[in-house]
Protein backbone atom coordinates (compact mmCIF):
# COMPACT_ATOMS: atom_id res chain seq x y z
CA UNK A 1 0.00 0.00 0.00
CA UNK A 2 1.39 3.38 -1.03
CA UNK A 3 -0.51 6.57 -0.41
CA UNK A 4 0.29 10.24 -0.65
CA UNK A 5 -1.38 13.62 -0.51
CA UNK A 6 -0.12 17.14 -0.85
CA UNK A 7 0.23 18.82 2.53
CA UNK A 8 -1.54 21.84 1.10
CA UNK A 9 -4.15 20.29 -1.18
CA UNK A 10 -6.85 20.13 1.45
CA UNK A 11 -6.55 23.73 2.54
CA UNK A 12 -5.36 25.61 -0.54
CA UNK A 13 -8.05 24.20 -2.78
CA UNK A 14 -10.34 26.50 -0.84
CA UNK A 15 -8.30 29.41 -2.13
CA UNK A 16 -7.93 28.58 -5.80
CA UNK A 17 -5.36 25.80 -5.41
CA UNK A 18 -2.31 28.00 -5.23
CA UNK A 19 -0.25 25.19 -3.78
CA UNK A 20 2.54 25.61 -6.25
CA UNK A 21 3.13 29.22 -5.19
CA UNK A 22 2.01 30.93 -8.37
CA UNK A 23 -0.19 34.03 -8.25
CA UNK A 24 -3.79 33.39 -7.22
CA UNK A 25 -6.69 35.45 -8.54
CA UNK A 26 -10.36 35.55 -7.60
CA UNK A 27 -11.19 36.17 -11.24
CA UNK A 28 -10.27 32.56 -12.03
CA UNK A 29 -13.47 31.44 -10.33
CA UNK A 30 -15.65 33.22 -12.92
CA UNK A 31 -14.38 31.39 -16.03
CA UNK A 32 -14.26 27.69 -16.92
CA UNK A 33 -10.54 26.93 -17.20
CA UNK A 34 -8.11 24.03 -17.19
CA UNK A 35 -4.47 24.29 -16.07
CA UNK A 36 -1.74 21.75 -16.84
CA UNK A 37 1.31 22.17 -14.62
CA UNK A 38 4.70 20.59 -13.90
CA UNK A 39 7.73 21.39 -11.77
CA UNK A 40 11.09 19.78 -11.12
CA UNK A 41 13.47 20.22 -8.17
CA UNK A 42 17.09 19.51 -9.06
CA UNK A 43 18.50 16.62 -6.94
CA UNK A 44 20.72 17.83 -4.10
CA UNK A 45 22.49 16.30 -1.11
CA UNK A 46 20.11 14.73 1.42
CA UNK A 47 22.41 13.10 3.99
CA UNK A 48 25.92 13.63 2.66
CA UNK A 49 25.92 10.39 0.67
CA UNK A 50 22.65 10.51 -1.33
CA UNK A 51 20.85 13.05 -3.54
CA UNK A 52 17.12 13.76 -3.31
CA UNK A 53 14.87 15.17 -6.05
CA UNK A 54 11.14 15.65 -6.67
CA UNK A 55 9.06 15.88 -9.85
CA UNK A 56 5.39 16.94 -9.76
CA UNK A 57 2.90 17.01 -12.64
CA UNK A 58 -0.87 17.44 -12.70
CA UNK A 59 -3.90 19.46 -13.72
CA UNK A 60 -6.52 21.70 -12.12
CA UNK A 61 -9.97 22.31 -13.59
CA UNK A 62 -12.35 25.08 -12.43
CA UNK A 63 -15.97 24.89 -13.63
CA UNK A 64 -18.65 27.46 -12.64
CA UNK A 65 -21.88 25.53 -11.99
CA UNK A 66 -24.33 28.09 -10.59
CA UNK A 67 -24.79 31.88 -10.45
CA UNK A 68 -27.81 33.90 -9.36
CA UNK A 69 -28.92 37.19 -7.81
CA UNK A 70 -31.60 37.08 -5.11
CA UNK A 71 -33.75 39.85 -3.60
CA UNK A 72 -34.88 39.25 -0.03
CA UNK A 73 -37.08 40.96 2.56
CA UNK A 74 -36.41 40.42 6.29
CA UNK A 75 -38.77 40.44 9.29
CA UNK A 76 -37.34 43.87 10.12
CA UNK A 77 -38.85 45.13 6.86
CA UNK A 78 -35.48 45.64 5.19
CA UNK A 79 -34.49 44.61 1.70
CA UNK A 80 -31.30 42.68 1.01
CA UNK A 81 -29.69 41.93 -2.34
CA UNK A 82 -27.61 38.73 -2.47
CA UNK A 83 -25.43 37.32 -5.26
CA UNK A 84 -24.31 33.68 -5.20
CA UNK A 85 -21.65 32.02 -7.35
CA UNK A 86 -20.67 28.33 -7.08
CA UNK A 87 -17.80 26.53 -8.80
CA UNK A 88 -16.50 22.96 -8.87
CA UNK A 89 -12.79 22.10 -8.64
CA UNK A 90 -11.11 18.95 -9.94
CA UNK A 91 -7.41 18.29 -9.35
CA UNK A 92 -4.98 15.48 -10.14
CA UNK A 93 -1.30 15.32 -9.11
CA UNK A 94 1.47 12.84 -9.82
CA UNK A 95 4.41 13.07 -7.39
CA UNK A 96 7.68 11.26 -8.08
CA UNK A 97 10.48 11.53 -5.49
CA UNK A 98 13.94 10.19 -6.39
CA UNK A 99 17.02 9.14 -4.39
CA UNK A 100 20.25 9.05 -6.39
CA UNK A 101 18.16 9.20 -9.56
CA UNK A 102 16.04 6.17 -8.60
CA UNK A 103 12.32 6.25 -7.81
CA UNK A 104 11.63 6.46 -4.10
CA UNK A 105 9.31 4.85 -3.21
CA UNK A 106 9.60 2.69 -6.30
CA UNK A 107 6.33 3.68 -7.97
CA UNK A 108 5.55 7.22 -6.78
CA UNK A 109 2.16 8.62 -5.76
CA UNK A 110 -1.01 9.98 -7.37
CA UNK A 111 -3.74 12.18 -5.86
CA UNK A 112 -7.25 12.93 -7.14
CA UNK A 113 -9.67 15.36 -5.49
CA UNK A 114 -13.00 17.11 -6.09
CA UNK A 115 -14.30 20.19 -4.29
CA UNK A 116 -16.89 22.96 -4.37
CA UNK A 117 -16.44 26.67 -3.60
CA UNK A 118 -19.38 29.02 -3.01
CA UNK A 119 -19.08 32.81 -2.99
CA UNK A 120 -21.96 34.68 -1.36
CA UNK A 121 -22.14 38.47 -1.39
CA UNK A 122 -24.93 40.55 0.11
CA UNK A 123 -25.60 44.08 1.32
CA UNK A 124 -26.03 42.89 4.93
CA UNK A 125 -23.41 40.13 5.23
CA UNK A 126 -20.75 41.37 2.79
CA UNK A 127 -18.76 38.62 1.05
CA UNK A 128 -18.29 35.08 2.32
CA UNK A 129 -16.38 32.19 0.75
CA UNK A 130 -17.33 28.62 1.69
CA UNK A 131 -15.74 25.41 0.49
CA UNK A 132 -15.50 21.69 0.97
CA UNK A 133 -14.24 18.62 -0.81
CA UNK A 134 -12.75 15.17 -0.62
CA UNK A 135 -10.19 13.10 -2.43
CA UNK A 136 -8.09 9.97 -2.50
CA UNK A 137 -4.45 9.02 -2.89
CA UNK A 138 -3.06 5.79 -4.25
CA UNK A 139 0.09 4.04 -5.36
CA UNK A 140 0.82 4.02 -9.09
CA UNK A 141 0.61 0.26 -9.26
CA UNK A 142 -3.00 -0.27 -8.13
CA UNK A 143 -6.44 1.33 -7.77
CA UNK A 144 -7.66 -1.03 -5.06
CA UNK A 145 -6.36 0.51 -1.81
CA UNK A 146 -7.33 4.20 -1.91
CA UNK A 147 -6.65 6.44 1.07
CA UNK A 148 -9.28 9.19 1.61
CA UNK A 149 -8.90 12.78 2.79
CA UNK A 150 -11.33 15.69 3.17
CA UNK A 151 -11.37 19.42 3.86
CA UNK A 152 -13.81 22.22 4.60
CA UNK A 153 -13.63 25.86 5.54
CA UNK A 154 -14.97 29.39 5.36
CA UNK A 155 -13.54 32.89 5.00
CA UNK A 156 -14.93 36.41 5.31
CA UNK A 157 -13.82 39.00 2.77
CA UNK A 158 -13.90 42.76 3.25
CA UNK A 159 -13.67 45.05 0.22
CA UNK A 160 -11.89 48.19 1.43
CA UNK A 161 -11.88 49.91 -1.93
CA UNK A 162 -11.77 49.21 -5.62
CA UNK A 163 -8.22 47.87 -5.32
CA UNK A 164 -8.01 46.47 -1.79
CA UNK A 165 -9.49 43.36 -0.21
CA UNK A 166 -8.70 41.34 2.92
CA UNK A 167 -10.04 37.99 4.07
CA UNK A 168 -9.77 35.85 7.17
CA UNK A 169 -11.12 32.46 8.07
CA UNK A 170 -10.16 28.88 8.88
CA UNK A 171 -9.85 25.45 7.30
CA UNK A 172 -10.47 22.06 8.89
CA UNK A 173 -8.70 19.24 7.05
CA UNK A 174 -8.06 15.54 7.57
CA UNK A 175 -4.78 14.33 6.08
CA UNK A 176 -3.46 11.39 8.13
CA UNK A 177 -4.57 13.48 11.11
CA UNK A 178 -7.10 16.24 11.75
CA UNK A 179 -5.76 19.79 11.38
CA UNK A 180 -7.23 23.24 12.06
CA UNK A 181 -5.55 26.01 10.03
CA UNK A 182 -6.38 29.74 10.45
CA UNK A 183 -5.82 31.79 7.28
CA UNK A 184 -5.44 35.48 6.46
CA UNK A 185 -5.29 37.00 2.99
CA UNK A 186 -4.74 40.40 1.41
CA UNK A 187 -4.99 41.65 -2.18
CA UNK A 188 -3.73 45.20 -2.76
CA UNK A 189 -3.17 47.17 -5.97
CA UNK A 190 -0.19 49.56 -5.95
CA UNK A 191 -0.17 52.06 -8.76
CA UNK A 192 -1.06 51.10 -12.32
CA UNK A 193 1.20 48.06 -12.65
CA UNK A 194 1.83 46.42 -9.26
CA UNK A 195 -0.37 44.18 -7.13
CA UNK A 196 0.60 42.49 -3.84
CA UNK A 197 -1.25 39.36 -2.71
CA UNK A 198 -0.76 37.00 0.23
CA UNK A 199 -2.52 33.99 1.68
CA UNK A 200 -0.87 33.37 5.03
CA UNK A 201 0.60 31.10 6.21
CA UNK A 202 0.96 29.58 2.75
CA UNK A 203 2.10 32.11 0.16
CA UNK A 204 2.95 35.69 -0.80
CA UNK A 205 3.17 37.26 -4.24
CA UNK A 206 4.04 40.56 -5.94
CA UNK A 207 2.73 40.89 -9.51
CA UNK A 208 3.94 43.38 -12.11
CA UNK A 209 1.63 43.85 -15.11
CA UNK A 210 3.88 45.01 -17.93
CA UNK A 211 1.22 44.88 -20.67
CA UNK A 212 -2.29 43.51 -21.14
CA UNK A 213 -0.83 40.18 -22.23
CA UNK A 214 2.38 39.89 -20.16
CA UNK A 215 3.07 40.02 -16.42
CA UNK A 216 5.72 38.89 -13.94
CA UNK A 217 5.37 37.42 -10.43
CA UNK A 218 7.82 37.51 -7.53
CA UNK A 219 6.66 34.72 -5.24
CA UNK A 220 7.26 32.66 -2.13
CA UNK A 221 5.22 29.72 -0.89
CA UNK A 222 5.08 26.71 1.41
CA UNK A 223 4.43 23.34 -0.23
CA UNK A 224 5.20 19.64 0.07
CA UNK A 225 3.64 16.21 0.19
CA UNK A 226 2.86 13.40 2.62
CA UNK A 227 3.08 9.79 1.41
CA UNK A 228 3.29 6.22 2.60
CA UNK A 229 4.82 2.97 1.42
CA UNK A 230 5.33 -0.63 2.56
CA UNK A 231 8.63 -2.43 2.94
CA UNK A 232 8.53 -6.20 2.40
CA UNK A 233 10.53 -7.80 5.20
CA UNK A 234 11.23 -11.57 5.46
CA UNK A 235 8.71 -11.91 8.29
CA UNK A 236 6.13 -9.21 7.49
CA UNK A 237 5.30 -6.05 5.56
CA UNK A 238 6.37 -2.89 7.36
CA UNK A 239 4.37 0.32 6.85
CA UNK A 240 6.37 3.53 6.50
CA UNK A 241 5.26 7.13 5.97
CA UNK A 242 7.21 10.04 4.56
CA UNK A 243 6.58 13.78 4.98
CA UNK A 244 8.31 16.34 2.77
CA UNK A 245 8.04 20.11 3.03
CA UNK A 246 9.79 23.10 1.48
CA UNK A 247 9.65 26.86 1.00
CA UNK A 248 9.88 27.94 -2.63
CA UNK A 249 10.96 31.42 -3.68
CA UNK A 250 11.19 32.42 -7.31
CA UNK A 251 10.01 34.43 -10.27
CA UNK A 252 7.51 33.53 -12.99
CA UNK A 253 6.75 35.08 -16.36
CA UNK A 254 3.15 34.83 -17.59
CA UNK A 255 2.01 35.43 -21.16
CA UNK A 256 -1.64 35.56 -22.22
CA UNK A 257 -1.86 34.30 -25.81
CA UNK A 258 -4.60 33.79 -28.41
CA UNK A 259 -7.37 35.11 -26.10
CA UNK A 260 -7.85 31.79 -24.30
CA UNK A 261 -4.35 30.50 -23.43
CA UNK A 262 -2.04 31.52 -20.58
CA UNK A 263 1.55 30.21 -20.51
CA UNK A 264 3.69 30.51 -17.37
CA UNK A 265 7.39 29.71 -16.81
CA UNK A 266 8.79 29.71 -13.28
CA UNK A 267 12.25 29.32 -11.72
CA UNK A 268 13.70 29.74 -8.26
CA UNK A 269 15.06 27.85 -5.28
CA UNK A 270 13.60 25.36 -2.80
CA UNK A 271 14.94 25.86 0.72
CA UNK A 272 14.17 25.03 4.37
CA UNK A 273 13.49 21.51 3.16
CA UNK A 274 12.80 18.59 5.50
CA UNK A 275 12.11 14.89 5.00
CA UNK A 276 10.81 12.73 7.84
CA UNK A 277 10.04 9.02 7.81
CA UNK A 278 7.93 7.45 10.55
CA UNK A 279 6.03 4.21 11.23
CA UNK A 280 2.33 3.45 11.67
CA UNK A 281 2.58 4.43 15.34
CA UNK A 282 3.89 7.86 14.20
CA UNK A 283 7.29 7.18 15.77
CA UNK A 284 10.02 9.13 13.97
CA UNK A 285 12.51 6.86 12.20
CA UNK A 286 14.66 9.23 10.14
CA UNK A 287 14.93 12.97 9.60
CA UNK A 288 16.88 14.71 6.81
CA UNK A 289 17.35 18.30 5.66
CA UNK A 290 18.15 18.28 1.91
CA UNK A 291 20.28 21.17 0.72
CA UNK A 292 18.78 24.22 -0.98
CA UNK A 293 18.30 23.46 -4.67
CA UNK A 294 17.08 25.18 -7.85
CA UNK A 295 13.70 24.30 -9.33
CA UNK A 296 11.91 25.02 -12.59
CA UNK A 297 8.21 24.89 -13.42
CA UNK A 298 5.77 25.49 -16.24
CA UNK A 299 2.01 25.67 -16.72
CA UNK A 300 -0.46 26.10 -19.55
CA UNK A 301 -3.99 27.31 -18.75
CA UNK A 302 -6.86 27.18 -21.21
CA UNK A 303 -9.91 29.39 -20.61
CA UNK A 304 -12.83 27.71 -22.33
CA UNK A 305 -15.07 30.79 -22.39
CA UNK A 306 -15.33 34.36 -21.11
CA UNK A 307 -18.25 36.33 -19.78
CA UNK A 308 -18.27 40.09 -20.48
CA UNK A 309 -20.26 40.63 -17.29
CA UNK A 310 -17.75 38.65 -15.18
CA UNK A 311 -14.79 40.40 -16.81
CA UNK A 312 -16.30 43.82 -16.07
CA UNK A 313 -17.19 42.83 -12.49
CA UNK A 314 -13.73 41.46 -11.58
CA UNK A 315 -11.98 44.41 -13.23
CA UNK A 316 -14.12 47.05 -11.47
CA UNK A 317 -13.79 45.34 -8.07
CA UNK A 318 -10.04 44.83 -8.45
CA UNK A 319 -10.30 41.11 -7.66
CA UNK A 320 -7.62 40.19 -10.18
CA UNK A 321 -6.42 40.92 -13.66
CA UNK A 322 -9.34 39.31 -15.49
CA UNK A 323 -7.99 35.83 -15.09
CA UNK A 324 -4.63 36.47 -16.77
CA UNK A 325 -2.61 35.10 -13.86
CA UNK A 326 -2.89 31.51 -12.75
Q: pLDDT band at residue 307, thresholds of 50, 70 and 90?
A: low
User: Contact at 8 Å (CB) between 111 and 92?
Assistant: yes
pLDDT for the residue numbered 271: 94
pLDDT for the residue numbered 253: 95
Q: pLDDT band at residue 27, thresholds of 50, 70 and 90?
A: low
Structural domain boundaries in the chain: 3-317
| Structural fold of domain 3-317 | Porin (2.40.160)
Q: pLDDT band at residue 266, thresholds of 50, 70 and 90?
A: very high
Q: pLDDT band at residue 100, thresholds of 50, 70 and 90?
A: confident
User: Contact at 8 Å (CB) between 263 and 300?
Assistant: yes
pLDDT higher than 80, residue 210: yes
pLDDT for the residue numbered 248: 94
The half-sphere exposure of 98 on its side-chain side, counting CA atoms within 13 A, is 13
Q: What mean pLDDT comes out for the span 227-236?
A: 72
Instruction: Read off the pLDDT of residues 40-57 as tens digits, 9 standing for 90 and up.
Output: 999 999 888 889 999 999
pLDDT for the residue numbered 17: 36
Q: What mean pLDDT comes out for the span 226-246?
A: 77
Q: What mean pLDDT comes out for the span 245-251?
A: 94
pLDDT for the residue numbered 293: 96
Residues whose CB falls within 8 Å of the CB of residue 80, separated by 6 or more in sequence, listed in order: 71, 72, 73, 74, 122, 123, 124
pLDDT higher than 70, residue 120: yes
pLDDT higher than 50, residue 201: yes
Beta-carbon neighbour count of residue 18 at 10 Å?
Answer: 24
Mean pLDDT of the chain: 79
Residue with more model confidence, 87 or 22: 87
pLDDT for the residue numbered 168: 92
Amino acid sequence: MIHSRSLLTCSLLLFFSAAQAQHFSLSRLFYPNLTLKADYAVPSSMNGTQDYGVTRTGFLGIIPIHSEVQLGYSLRKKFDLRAVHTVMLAQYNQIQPTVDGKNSPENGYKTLSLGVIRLQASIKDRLWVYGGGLGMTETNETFFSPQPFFWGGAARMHILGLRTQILYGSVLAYNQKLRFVPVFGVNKGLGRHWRVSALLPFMANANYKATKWFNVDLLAGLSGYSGGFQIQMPEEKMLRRENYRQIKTGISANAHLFTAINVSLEAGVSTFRQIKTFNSARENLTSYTPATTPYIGASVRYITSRSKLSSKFTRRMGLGQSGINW
